[in-house]
Structure 1
Amino acid sequence: MGHMVTGVNQMENEFLRVKFNSDGTLRMENKETGDVFDGMHYLEDAGENGHSWMHESPNRDEIITSHAAPCHIAKIEDGPMLARFRVDYHMMVPVGLDYVYDEAYTGQKPRAQMRLPRATTRTEEKREMVVRSVFTLRKGAKALDVETKVDNQCENHRVRVCFPTEIKAKVSAAEAAFDVIERDVIRTPANWYWGRPNPQLPMHRFVSFSDGKRGIAFANNGIREFEAIEDNDRTVAITLFRAFTFRQPPILDRYDIYPEMKLSQCPGEMSFKYSILPHKGDWVEGEVIREAERVNLPLETAQVGPHKGDLPKSMSFLSIDPVNLMLSTFKKAERSDSLILRVFNPTTDDIDGTITFHTEIKTAWITNLNEERREQLQPDGKKINLKVGKKKIVTLELEV
């Protein structure tokens, strides 16, 4: 039947070769292009003195990585369709923050004193945090799937998984609602973050980095923050969680603190799913969106009993080409029995798209978001051909 484990702590398929280093990091080779990414997937634990909206480091931080931590590597599955390895990282991390206070004059008259925090530092007391990552490589897959679990028993810290890509990308490309947004990786005086701490940035289902010839993307299911670190390795850090003391601002720049609200500290077991996708070219050429769709919308199967029917054994209910023309909505119209189909183009080029239905399309209209008809289209049997401009959203009404 064949096996996908091809050596000690190594697995590969048609597109990827993955080898686990002794410190739990990965050496990934894109067999299509020959690109190699080494030292990938190490963990970073840092202090967290921020709040719901942003990360702030303690005044005296202590950043701990998994490089020197004990790790256990185990092969847990090997077959013709997939291979799996598990890596357990055993890290000793501070249990929380210590606060150093000093007397400070409030400016009130008569002179009044109040105790204000002067500095924050991570505690000397530490506790073991075990992070377990399961790596799955499937037959025919161009991405490596990862599920990472952690039982968090510490407070006021941030845990990230880091990838030294060594890709000299000028921009990051992160998905947002109906768009993919590019942001500078290297800050210049014209950048808003010049002279400020390196920003953590939002992403929806993926972020990609490319130098024009080669690239790497990180697709996720529910992880929403990344940072492109300005170091020689061009490290990308993906935030798994931030455990912080809850604060609520009743007015601008004033925060009421609620240390008793412990859920903001993310206690207990958590699970995170993401995929690592080396690709050629940029995110468009590498069809990164297809991978993001797979991670978030996996194919679901259902079995039914014997029954009569006239459908063929194999058919597609709806198909949209090319891959970067994205489906947003498919539903019944609000005021009729027509069908509403909404697509969008997140790229910077116009797309000549084709929508193919499972049955003949009688009439088709372009509508606005209120489903009010604006332009009639001429279907070609089961197909509709349309041009979608760059960064545009198009809503269709179909009668079948």
Structure 2
Amino acid sequence: MADKRPQRGATLNRESNRFNLPERTADGDWLDDQAGIDGAPPRLRTSVTVERARTIISRNTSPDIGFDRSINPYRGCEHGCIYCFARPTHAFHDLSPGLDFESKLFAKPDAPALLRAELAKRGYSAQPIAFGTNTDPYQPIEAEWRITRGCIEVLSDTDHPLTITTKSDRVLHDIDLLAAMAAKGLAAVALSITSLDPRIAMTLEPRAPTPERRLAAVRKLVAAGIPTHVSIAPVIPAITDHEIEHLVERAAEAGARSVSFIPVRLPWEVAPLFRAWLDAHFPDRAGKVMAIIGAIRDGRDNDPGFFTRMRGSGPWADLLRTRFQIACRKHGLNRERIVLRSDLFRPPEGPQGELFG
């Protein structure tokens, strides 16, 4: 069952069949009110479940990713980006990567305390911790839970480097901490901007701030002395690829130091969700979009291979890359890498240290 939902990205709420879970054909809110429905389903309510994690720093050894550790204060993401590669993780919880992913969220309020404990472990060696690598640390519920800010406070207290990737100008709520850290070479922020067309952005990322608000955030971060990057991710053929040059230009005008792009990725359950979204919002070009994605992904919906998954392959991918590189040279971007310091890190003091400090 596929339906356009107000302010939601996915049109389906199907379970993954990778784990032999039953298919959910409608969300619980709709089933509760089904008898009274006349026409479109009601708006989905967002629920938040507390998750009591044992650890908070996730490690990875992927050779095509520029960080080896990350923190995800939340599971699921209310921004509802239809292309989000993190959607399949909700299947591990017997929830749908579709509408459940963007409406049934998990928060980790113990994250700051867990982080402090992990940083205090003997032998811990500091390297930048990445936020926003799975779900957005500044999605709407951060305004209430403030878990991301709590973690940044711990890192600020210990002079530990961090990077943040977000689609939200809510990152400005923490500009006081981030500016002070950036002055020491400890913080950098990336704003993800996929389209400048508000109508496209509204269907791609229904609960994320508008593109202009994100560009305004770039300007404010730069003005505060925070190294700022713009990520054009993903680029969707026949929907947003024509905007590459304009996005690079606007990023440069806003003061971004660097910019990057990634062709759309459709791992696991993301592919059928994306196809259903195309049928609902772009039926006139759905076949063309998927054909070009196949050309970029070696004839498949997705290429999971290291390095090629981030770059794509074939003539279409080469053309996107060439256009992007020409635009970057024209606007003077990507001349230097943003490098953070790790040598200032001071492990958190234990109870005795606080007592006798």
TM-score range normalised by the length of the shorter chain: under 0.3
Give the TM-score taking structure 2 as reference length. Answer: 0.23
Give the TM-score taking structure 1 as reference length. Answer: 0.21
User: Which structure has more strand as a fraction of its residues?
Assistant: 1
Higher RCO (CA < 8 A, seq sep 6+) = 2
